[in-house]
């Protein structure tokens, strides 16, 4: 049995009769200390998947188990990094992390807690911004604070919901390297949701595509066998990388076409009307 | 330094003065001048135009309490209010003075009286002269007019009588039952009445020209009269002070009482016979008691306007705190629980539009039921009722805003709380309240503004000492001076309301984390 297990999970929203099914029979199994990237188009139910993995949302059908135990509610052992950071704007960087640390490790003494928090601030290289408010930080810095807050809870699984998608390309590359470094330093099971194929290939051990919604499901995964550490500069010329990337892109675009073909045309059928040419008569 | 000042101005909502600070620092002067002209110059010009219109319009309407006061008159009234306050404070101070300080003050008062007395009597003589002069002038002017008027009145009366007699004579010979002749007679009588009416009107008009001549004002005389009144007023005040520094003074009274006590004690020591000794003992005790009473007494200061302002501000804050103490917890509950919100919505909707004028009598009676003796009570019931009325009327904006703020906490922040498995109270105090704080303070700011407006009406109705009561007293007084003092109140109330609002803006800015600009 795997570390994190998702079996035939279905979920939908809305009342009966107007129901939209978001996920149908999605299954996933993640090994301990594995880095999984879930990749999908926008609107395909990625955030819903995250909500269920972290227990914020209960599936309608199927079960999600962590170490064989069903996940029924959120908790600090299911660390989540939100897409839009979710930092409390009235607390400083330190305060935001402290809120989590205090709750998760109530047994720590003051000095211990301080050391713990500062270790994680250091890990995401934010020591100079320790006492700044989120409003004074850039997007990348805010995402680092959010990451540090989640990491300081020392979760069993780290679930990241498009953590880098709101950032500009340079900051993004920078943070990707940081993520790898942190993961190497502090090994744990990671599920990352993303819409960037390159990012997925660069970071993950395995890539799981999410099919088009509605009623999306998780398709067969692509293992990434590239050796670590992966260097982004040389990666572009690496034939294996190129091959894998093309495969995934082909799979995704084909899926997109298929989905478009499958879509029921609910539009009104227009009568075939042509303008009458009065001058010709 | 410059940026610190600018930042402080920004937080205080005084961005208007931003260009002044920048100009002093020499930053782009032409631009700053333009801004100063726009944001400071134009408001000043508008205000001056307002003063101008007021000055022009006010004297053109005459009321029972004299002409509507002009800005100058209002300014004088404000000065008068202040002088009264200062003098009352001085008297209270004089009452408690003792030893060399009292003698020094006494010397000062006596010197001033000596200085003023000749001035006042000179002014009185001058005023007397001017009065006789003006009287003779008026008499000269009015004399012939009056004679003319008398003649005219005589003439009119005689005419009327003659016409009446003629009509009676005619009526005597009127045949009985002749409708036509009687109709003709009726027309004649009517003609006679109309004529009398016009004659009377003409008389009245003539009389009013005479009255106008009497009412003629002599500017010189008026200014002397004002001067004389001022002297007399000050003299009266000084004689009061003199009293409080001598016979009316606390220490003087006590030393007098004590010397009397010494006499009584010696009388008691030498008293003979049972009855007389008892009497003497009683006298000693009575005297001791009266000395103790004097030592405890203080000058009973009247409620001058500045003291009433202080009391009003205190009252509005008491009411505001009562209101907030109810509104914030209720608002939080409404925001958290849909059940609570559903339960309270009808009550809120029902009571929110009720006017303070309705609340006040109800509150006044209810509070009166709890406090039986107003004089010995810890708080005066009128004060408490005004404060509660303020609370009742001002709690709604805070309640609604708090509920809104709590209900609209970002879902992500709630998710954070869920992930951290925060308990109810830490969720409330660490996530919900901090996040709702800016909206709560926006509500408090509106509440304080509403409370201040309500307070004046409440004080006026239940005659609780304060600005409202001052207005009511001035209204009932009905002289032209008190009319002007009511105008002073308008400005005082406005300025205090403005200051309260500024304080709330600063508080609101200090708790808002998103740096959202607050409306000016």
pLDDT tens, position by position, A123-142 = 888 889 888 888 888 888 89
Which pLDDT does position B390 carry in this prediction?
Answer: 94
* Adjacent-strand bridge partners of A6: A28, A64
Return phi, psi of residue B287, to 5°. -65, -45
B302: exposed, middle or buried (C-beta count within 10 Å: 0-12, 13-18, 19+)? exposed
A100 touches chain B (CB under 8 A): yes
Which pLDDT does position A213 carry in this prediction?
Answer: 65
Does residue A229 have a cis peptide bond before it, meaning omega lies within 30 degrees of 0?
yes
> Each residue of A146-181: pLDDT tens digit?
989 998 998 989 999 888 887 788 888 888 888 888
Provide the percentage of residues in chain A whose pLDDT is more than 90.
Answer: 14
pLDDT category at A231 given cuts 50, 70, 90 is: confident
Low-confidence ranges of chain B (pLDDT < 70): 215-217, 514-520
Given a cut of 80, is residue A267 above it in pLDDT?
no
What are the helix (H) ranges across B173-249?
Answer: 179-215, 219-245
> Each residue of B211-267: pLDDT tens digit?
777 766 677 888 888 888 888 888 999 988 888 888 888 888 888 888 888 988 888
DSSP annotation of B346 reads H
**How many C-beta neighbours within 10 Å does residue B407 have?**
18
In contact, A82 and A165? CB cutoff 8 Å: no
Which position has the token pair 């333009």?
A: B34
Q: Smallest Cβ distance to B412: which of A75, A84, A103? A: A84
Taking the CA of residue B51 and the nearest CA in chain A, the distance in Å comes to 46
**Inter-chain residue contact A78 with B419, CB threshold 8 Å:** yes
Least CA distance to B432: which residue of chain A? Answer: A88
Which pLDDT does position A265 carry in this prediction?
Answer: 58
Which pLDDT does position B216 carry in this prediction?
Answer: 66
**Inter-chain residue contact A89 with B426, CB threshold 8 Å:** no
C-alpha–C-alpha distance, residues B231 and B224, integer Å: 11
Which pLDDT does position A263 carry in this prediction?
Answer: 60
SS3 per residue for B107-175: HHHHHHHHHHHHHHHHHHHHHHHHHHHHHHHHHHHHHHHHHHHHHHHHHHHHHHHHHHHHHHHHHHCCC
Helices and strands: H and E segment counts in chain A:
8, 10
Least CA distance to A95: which residue of chain B? Answer: B430
Which pLDDT does position B520 carry in this prediction?
Answer: 37
In contact, B335 and B402? CB cutoff 8 Å: yes
Please state the domain extents for chain B.
Answer: 2-60, 99-231, 305-511
Q: What is the mean pLDDT of chain A?
A: 85
In contact, B466 and B308? CB cutoff 8 Å: yes
Taking the CA of residue A61 and the nearest CA in chain B, the distance in Å comes to 22
Q: Is A153 helix (H, G, I), strand (E, B) or coil?
A: coil
Which pLDDT does position A262 carry in this prediction?
Answer: 63
Which pLDDT does position B515 carry in this prediction?
Answer: 53
Long-range CB pairs of B15-20, under 8 A, 24+ apart, other chains included:
B15/B520, B16/B40
Classify domain B305-511 at the CATH topology level: MetI-like fold (1.10.3720)
In contact, B204 and B198? CB cutoff 8 Å: no
**Inter-chain residue contact A90 with B515, CB threshold 8 Å:** no
C-alpha–C-alpha distance, residues B40 and B33, integer Å: 10
Q: Smallest Cβ distance to A76: which of B413, B415, B421? A: B421
**Inter-chain residue contact A86 with B431, CB threshold 8 Å:** no
**Inter-chain residue contact A90 with B419, CB threshold 8 Å:** no
In contact, A143 and A167? CB cutoff 8 Å: yes
A82 touches chain B (CB under 8 A): yes
Which pLDDT does position A112 carry in this prediction?
Answer: 92
Q: Smallest Cβ distance to B419: which of A76, A90, A91? A: A76
Sequence-separated (6 or more) residues with CB below 8 Å from residue B509: B11, B13, B518
Which pLDDT does position A17 carry in this prediction?
Answer: 72
Taking the CA of residue A93 and the nearest CA in chain B, the distance in Å comes to 14
């Amino acid at each position: 049995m795997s570390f994190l297990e998702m079996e035939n999970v279905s979920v939908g929203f809305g009342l009966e009769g107007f129901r939209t099914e978001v996920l149908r029979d999605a299954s996933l199994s993640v090994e301990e200390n594995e880095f999984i990237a879930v990749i999908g188009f926008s609107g395909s139910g990625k955030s819903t998947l995250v909500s269920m993995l972290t227990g914020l949302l209960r599936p309608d059908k199927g079960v999600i188990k962590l170490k064989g135990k069903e996940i029924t509610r959120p908790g600090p052992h299911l660390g989540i990094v939100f897409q839009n950071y979710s930092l409390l704007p009235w607390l400083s960087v330190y305060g935001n992390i402290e809120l989590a640390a205090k709750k998760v490790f109530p047994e720590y003494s003051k000095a211990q807690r301080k050391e713990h928090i500062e270790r994680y601030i250091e890990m995401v290289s934010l020591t100079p911004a320790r006492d700044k408010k989120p409003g004074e930080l850039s997007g990348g810095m805010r995402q680092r604070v959010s990451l540090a807050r989640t990491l300081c809870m020392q979760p069993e699984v780290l679930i990241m919901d498009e953590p880098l998608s709101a950032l500009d390309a340079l900051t993004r590359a920078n943070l990707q390297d940081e993520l790898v470094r942190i993961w190497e330093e502090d090994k744990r099971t990671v599920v990352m949701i993303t819409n960037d194929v390159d990012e997925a290939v660069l970071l993950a051990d395995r890539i799981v595509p999410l099919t088009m919604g509605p009623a999306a499901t998780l398709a067969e995964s692509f293992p990434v066998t590239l050796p670590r550490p992966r260097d982004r500069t040389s990666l572009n010329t690496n034939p294996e990388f190129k091959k894998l990337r093309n495969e995934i892109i082909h799979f995704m675009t084909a899926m997109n076409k298929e989905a478009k073909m499958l879509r029921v045309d609910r539009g009104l059928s227009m009568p075939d009307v042509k303008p009458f040419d009065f001058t010709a008569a | 330094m410059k940026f610190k000042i600018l930042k402080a101005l920004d937080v205080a909502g005084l961005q208007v003065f931003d260009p002044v600070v920048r100009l002093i620092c020499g930053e782009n002067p032409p631009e700053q001048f333009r801004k100063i002209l726009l944001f400071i110059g134009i408001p000043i010009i508008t205000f001056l135009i307002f003063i101008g219109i007021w000055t022009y319009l006010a004297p053109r309407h005459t009321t029972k309490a004299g002409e509507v006061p002009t800005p100058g008159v209002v300014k004088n009234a404000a000065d008068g209010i202040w002088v009264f306050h200062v003098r009352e404070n001085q008297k209270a101070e004089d009452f408690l003075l003792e030893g060399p300080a009292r003698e020094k003050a006494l010397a000062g008062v006596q010197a001033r009286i000596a200085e003023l007395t000749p001035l006042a009597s000179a002014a009185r003589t001058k005023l007397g002269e001017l009065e006789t002069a003006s009287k003779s002038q008026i008499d000269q002017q009015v004399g012939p007019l009056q004679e003319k008027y008398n003649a005219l009145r005589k003439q009119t009366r005689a005419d009327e009588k003659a016409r009446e007699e003629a009509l009676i004579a005619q009526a005597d010979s009127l045949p009985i039952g002749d409708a036509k002749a009687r109709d003709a007679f009726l027309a004649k009588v009517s003609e006679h009445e109309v004529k009398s009416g016009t004659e009377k009107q003409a008389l009245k008009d003539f009389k009013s020209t005479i009255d106008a001549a009497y009412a003629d004002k002599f500017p010189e005389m008026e200014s002397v009269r004002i001067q004389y009144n001022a002297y007399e007023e000050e003299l009266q005040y000084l004689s009061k002070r003199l009293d409080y520094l001598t016979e009316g003074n606390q220490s003087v009274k006590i030393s007098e009482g004590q010397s009397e006590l010494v006499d009584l004690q010696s009388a008691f020591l030498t008293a003979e016979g049972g009855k007389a000794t008892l009497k003497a003992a009683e006298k000693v005790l009575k005297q001791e008691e009266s000395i103790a009473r004097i030592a405890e007494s203080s000058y009973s200061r009247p409620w001058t306007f500045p003291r009433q302002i202080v009391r009003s501000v205190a009252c509005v804050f008491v009411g505001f705190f009562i209101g907030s103490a109810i509104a914030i917890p209720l608002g939080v509950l409404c925001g958290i629980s849909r059940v609570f919100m559903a339960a309270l919505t009808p009550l809120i909707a029902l009571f929110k539009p009720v006017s303070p004028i309705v609340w006040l009598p109800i509150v006044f009676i209810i509070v009166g039921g709890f406090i039986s003796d107003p004089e010995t009570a810890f708080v005066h019931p009128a004060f408490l009722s005004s404060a509660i009325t303020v609370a009742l009327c001002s709690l709604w904006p805070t309640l609604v805003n708090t509920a809104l703020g709590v209900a609209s906490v970002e879902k992500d922040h709630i998710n954070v709380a869920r992930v951290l498995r925060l308990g109810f109270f830490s969720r409330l105090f660490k996530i919900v309240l901090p996040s709702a704080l800016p909206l709560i303070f926006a509500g408090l700011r509106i509440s304080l503004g509403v409370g201040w407006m309500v307070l004046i009406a409440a004080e006026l109705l239940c005659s609780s000492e304060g600005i409202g009561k001052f207005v009511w007293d001035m209204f009932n007084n009905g002289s032209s001076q008190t009319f002007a003092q009511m105008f002073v109140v308008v400005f005082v109330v406005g300025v205090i309301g403005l200051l309260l609002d500024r304080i709330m803006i600063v508080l609101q800015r200090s708790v808002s984390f998103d740096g959202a600009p607050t409306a000016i």
